[in-house]
Chain A
Amino acid sequence: MLIDQSKFLFVAISLFFIGLCGIMLNRKNIILMLMSIELMLLAVNFNLIVFSVFLDDIIGQIFALFVLTVAAAESAIGLAILVVYYRIRGTVSIEYINLLKG
């Protein structure tokens, strides 16, 4: 089966860059940031699967599964950190997260 690979890759890269812009341009909401990270991981996953199919190799899909679990764990931990942070500070706006000033 002949697949037009470049279209799939275009989608993946577009998703990735949308996630990236979400991280960089977002100044208010940290939840959006987490969502953008998820989006980027999804883009990567998509990319892995596309290549796995294109190269006819199962390793990519195994990787994708791992990434899924890692992403789930990561978002769980991230949300937990956010909850803890919210309890202490009462806000999760990025503007006020600047304690690490150089």
Chain B
Amino acid sequence: MYLLLVFFPLIGFTISLFFGRFISPRGTALITCTFLILSFILSCLSFFEVGLSRSPVYIKLSPWIDSELFDASWGFMFDSLTVSMCVLVTCISSLVHIYSTGYMSHDPHQPRFMSYLSLFTFFMLMLITSDNFIQLFFGWEGVGLCSYLLINFWFTRLQANKSAIKAMVINRIGDFGLALGIFSIFVAFKTVDYSTVFSLIPYFDGYSISFLQFNFDLVTLIGLLLFIGAIGKSAQLGLHTWLPDAMEGPTPVSALIHAATMVTAGVYLIIRCSPIYEYSSSALFYITVVGALTAFFAASIGVFQNDLKKVIAYSTCSQLGYMVFACGLSNYSISMFHVLNHAYFKALLFLSAGSVIHALSDEQDMRRMGGLIQLLPFTYTMIVIGSLALMGFPFLTGFYSKDVILEIAYSKYNFLGTFAHWLGITSASITAFYSFKLIYLTFLAAPNGYKSSMQSVHDAPFSMGLPLFFLSICSIFVGYLTKDLFIGLGTPFWNGSIFILPHHLNIIDAEFIPIHIKWIPFFVSIFGGSLAVCLYHLLLRLSFSFYNNTSLFIFIYTFFNKKWFFDRLQNELIGSSLLKIGYAITYKTIDKGLIEFFGPSGISNMVFIVSKQVSDLESGKINQYAFLMFICTTLLVSISLVLSVIAPYIDLQLSFMFVLYIIINNIKLNKIK
């Protein structure tokens, strides 16, 4: 059952890829959906067995690499953390599969699309169920690959190609860090098995590793290198630029990969490696800072975006920041809880956005929408549920995880906690602001779209509506239903899969913080949301004239709309200078310069020139021949005279060649033109 859970999507992928042309697009859709739903049912069963009945499963499938000390095997480990992720991945994935049958129904390459989706799910399951770092890396690269294939799905579009390459390359930067982390784990522990590494960590506390005369604290080094991998995959500040550009792919892809599953792999890695991070307070410090900054940074950009999908993408980035800083504050279970909840309402938001885009014949700009509330009532309801859950409206899913994250940040009572808390509060209000801006501009404002696209508007068909409905149910109830299971006081659910040092534990403190601190997120969210509606409904004319007359505001708007100029900095400082180095140094100087000069063409040119000079000696002039004879005779005589004296000090052959060379050059000078 556990193996089938992982391999069902692979079977679906194989069938629809190799036999897709024989069994019609509808057939492939049916097959891949069936396999995914079967996998989801098995995940639920395993969740019951492993999570609720507390009996972890460990399967050693076959050896993979077996070389002296280094052994990696195809092993599967199902503990509470894994099965929670399994349920999440297969649930979102099967809903997205069903959704895609409607959304992509007119696409000529539907079998390919469905097969890629299934392959992605397989790699993701491989990533979360592995029992060692090598297999984790296999899944990690696999989801990166599928991300490339899916962003690039409409491969005739130039922008999609560029975005896919960007996603792949920036992810690869993080992957390099992850690979280095795995190497250093192997160097220190001589194994890559989770169980061995995690049980040995306490003995390596304070152990330092020396590299190039620098001493690093081993645990911190491993933690930071793994975190670089997480930065890339989870789009944290610094390597986040690929995520918004990944919106070039079809909307179900954005929902599946860039909202619910792939980006959570980085957070999953941090949670999985909780025993490593617990022993390194400096790694935790950096994680917190980066996470909190990402939360604020992405939220502030999200406000000023006009593309429907980009807004949601930046909101994903911001929520990932929340998850990461919750990890940095040693509350892994809360972070995991937010991962699970976030997946439901973010998938809901993305799929509803897809429904809007589908209805408006692929219009993505929010400024060209408006007035859709009468035309798309179902989608409107869904997106409102999603947005309310996202901004942490009380008793919806987001409330239970997001507010807890802010509370534990406050109750750290140190600089780090306060820093994360205030950035988190600010981003919470901004989140509410852009959620309501999105709803208002799309559904409530006066219609701004084309009449032709408004006339053909239709609400989501059944295949798209069903996943939306299911996800909205999840977005409302999941948080409340699973709160006690995942983060309840003393919950036995995690069963050792997450490790927290006792003196880092502050979930109890978080229950007893002042009541007004607990109320802050609620009030700032309500404030942000109502501000958005006020600004766009009542004060639109005023703010527009304000915008037109104040250059400062134009500057601010441009600054945030252009993503803090982060992309531009990245392109102009790093990208173009690297390209210049690649062209000027490695290509022109080294490849075409040094290597060619001392290599093939240099030698052949040299031979050509020297032979030309030697043959120029034969000028055809008789008196010159005679002169040459005389000179050579004289030289021979004089050398034989002085040779016995200078022989110990010179290398005979070399000086002979030197003399020969001088003669050749001088004769060339004497040549009669």
On A, residues with C-beta under 8 Å from B are 20, 23-27, 30, 33, 94-95, 97-102
User: By DSSP majority rule, is chain B's interface helix, strand, loop, or mixed?
Assistant: helix
Residues on the B chain within 8 Å of A102, using CB: 614-620
- Provide the bound-state CA to CA distance between A98 and B618, in Å: 9
Interface string of B608-647 (1 = CB under 8 A from A): 0000001111111111001100100000000000000000
Contact between B619 and A98, CB atoms less than 8 A apart: yes
Q: A20-B630, A102-B615 are contacts. A26–B620 as well, Cβ < 8 Å?
A: no
Interface string of B113-142 (1 = CB under 8 A from A): 000000000000000000000000000000
Q: A20-B630, A24-B630 are contacts. A94–B623 as well, Cβ < 8 Å?
A: yes
Contact between A94 and B622, CB atoms less than 8 A apart: yes
Q: How many residues of B contact A (CB 8 A)?
A: 13
- B622–chain A nearest beta-carbon distance, Å: 6
Residues on the B chain within 8 Å of A26, using CB: 623
Contact between B618 and A101, CB atoms less than 8 A apart: yes
Q: List 12 A-B contacts (CB under 8 A).
A: A24-B623, A24-B626, A24-B627, A33-B623, A94-B622, A95-B621, A98-B621, A99-B620, A100-B620, A101-B618, A102-B615, A102-B617
**Selected contact of B620 from candidates A20, A25, A30, A98, CB within 8 Å:** A98
On B, residues with C-beta under 8 Å from A are 614-623, 626-627, 630
Q: Which of B620, B622, B623 has the most CB of A within 10 A?
A: B623
Looking across the interface, which residue of chain A has its beta carbon closest to that of B616? A102
Residues on the A chain within 8 Å of B622, using CB: 30, 33, 94, 97
- A13–chain B nearest beta-carbon distance, Å: 14
- A28–chain B nearest beta-carbon distance, Å: 10
Residues on the B chain within 8 Å of A97, using CB: 620-622
Contact between A94 and B621, CB atoms less than 8 A apart: yes
- B89–chain A nearest beta-carbon distance, Å: 80
- B49–chain A nearest beta-carbon distance, Å: 93
Looking across the interface, which residue of chain A has its beta carbon closest to that of B617? A102
Residues on the A chain within 8 Å of B627, using CB: 24
- B629–chain A nearest beta-carbon distance, Å: 9
Contact between A101 and B619, CB atoms less than 8 A apart: yes
Looking across the interface, which residue of chain A has its beta carbon closest to that of B628? A24
Looking across the interface, which residue of chain B has its beta carbon closest to that of A20? B630
- Provide the bound-state CA to CA distance between A4 and B621, in Å: 41
Looking across the interface, which residue of chain B has its beta carbon closest to that of A21? B630
Residues on the A chain within 8 Å of B618, using CB: 100-102
- A96–chain B nearest beta-carbon distance, Å: 10
Contact between A101 and B620, CB atoms less than 8 A apart: yes
- A76–chain B nearest beta-carbon distance, Å: 20
Please name 6 further chain A to chain B contacts, defined as beta carbons within 8 Å, in addition to the given A100-B618, A102-B617, sorted by A numbering. Answer: A26-B623, A27-B621, A33-B623, A94-B622, A99-B620, A102-B619
Residues on the B chain within 8 Å of A99, using CB: 620
- B666–chain A nearest beta-carbon distance, Å: 15
- Provide the bound-state CA to CA distance between A101 and B672, in Å: 12
Contact between B626 and A23, CB atoms less than 8 A apart: yes
- B539–chain A nearest beta-carbon distance, Å: 94
- Provide the bound-state CA to CA distance between A30 and B623, in Å: 10
Residues on the B chain within 8 Å of A30, using CB: 622
Q: Which of A20, A33, A98 has the most CB of B within 10 A?
A: A98
- Provide the bound-state CA to CA distance between A24 and B627, in Å: 5
Looking across the interface, which residue of chain B has its beta carbon closest to that of A23? B626
**Selected contact of A27 from candidates B614, B615, B617, B623, CB within 8 Å:** B623
Looking across the interface, which residue of chain A has its beta carbon closest to that of B612? A102
- A86–chain B nearest beta-carbon distance, Å: 15
Residues on the B chain within 8 Å of A27, using CB: 621, 623
Residues on the B chain within 8 Å of A24, using CB: 623, 626-627, 630
- A31–chain B nearest beta-carbon distance, Å: 13
- B655–chain A nearest beta-carbon distance, Å: 25
Looking across the interface, which residue of chain A has its beta carbon closest to that of B618? A102
Looking across the interface, which residue of chain B has its beta carbon closest to that of A28? B623
Looking across the interface, which residue of chain A has its beta carbon closest to that of B620? A98
Q: Which 10 A-B pairs have the closest CB atoms?
A: A102-B618, A98-B620, A101-B620, A102-B615, A23-B626, A24-B627, A100-B620, A24-B626, A94-B622, A24-B623
- A14–chain B nearest beta-carbon distance, Å: 16
- Provide the bound-state CA to CA distance between A94 and B622, in Å: 7
- A9–chain B nearest beta-carbon distance, Å: 17
Looking across the interface, which residue of chain B has its beta carbon closest to that of A26? B623
Residues on the A chain within 8 Å of B614, using CB: 102
Residues on the A chain within 8 Å of B620, using CB: 97-102
Residues on the B chain within 8 Å of A33, using CB: 622-623
- B111–chain A nearest beta-carbon distance, Å: 73
- Provide the bound-state CA to CA distance between A100 and B618, in Å: 7
- Provide the bound-state CA to CA distance between A95 and B621, in Å: 7
- Provide the bound-state CA to CA distance between A20 and B633, in Å: 12
- Provide the bound-state CA to CA distance between A102 and B623, in Å: 15
- Provide the bound-state CA to CA distance between A101 and B615, in Å: 8
- Provide the bound-state CA to CA distance between A27 and B622, in Å: 9
Residues on the B chain within 8 Å of A101, using CB: 618-620
- B21–chain A nearest beta-carbon distance, Å: 71
Residues on the B chain within 8 Å of A94, using CB: 621-623
- Provide the bound-state CA to CA distance between A65 and B619, in Å: 37
- Provide the bound-state CA to CA distance between A26 and B625, in Å: 12
Q: Which of B614, B616, B621, B630 has the most CB of A within 10 A?
A: B621
- B670–chain A nearest beta-carbon distance, Å: 12
- Provide the bound-state CA to CA distance between A2 and B626, in Å: 38
- Provide the bound-state CA to CA distance between A25 and B627, in Å: 8
- Provide the bound-state CA to CA distance between A99 and B614, in Å: 17
